Amino acid sequence: QVQLVESGGGSVQAGGSLRLSCAASGYTYSSNCMAWFRQVPGKEREGVAAIYTGGGSTYYADSVKGRFTISRDNAKNTLYLQMNSLKPEDTGLYYCAATLNACAYWYFRSDWYKYWGQGTQVTVSS
């Protein structure tokens, strides 16, 4: 049974940094797509960053380019999201997601992902 568990969320002031982690268990597939999404109440879940674990290709939403970095430690089966220069609009519930497929063109489509974590809250105050 695949399980994704996020950690690392919290409350920070604008300009601060946080590092999110997503520990995966139940599979050790190393050539698949993983991603971070975020959601705020009343809005759809949006893709923030994605990575193809086989080749290391990364994809970012325009709103986070240059500030967020997605990475993956295959040996630890853990996905990371380093978030710098945080803004109040980065506030939301952040989810880790995984599919056993490659990223293809669908890396920011939530229905591309079969496995989801429970989410970790990030709150950025001005």
Q: How confident is the model at residue 105 (pLDDT cuts 50, 70, 90)?
A: confident
C-alpha distance from residue 61 to each of 23, 31, 39, 75 (Å): 22, 22, 14, 27
pLDDT per position as a tens digit, 66-86? 999 999 988 898 999 999 999
Classify residue 94 by burial, with Cβ atoms within 10 Å: 0-12, 13-18, 19+: buried
Q: How confident is the model at residue 31 (pLDDT cuts 50, 70, 90)?
A: confident
pLDDT at 74: 83
pLDDT at 30: 73
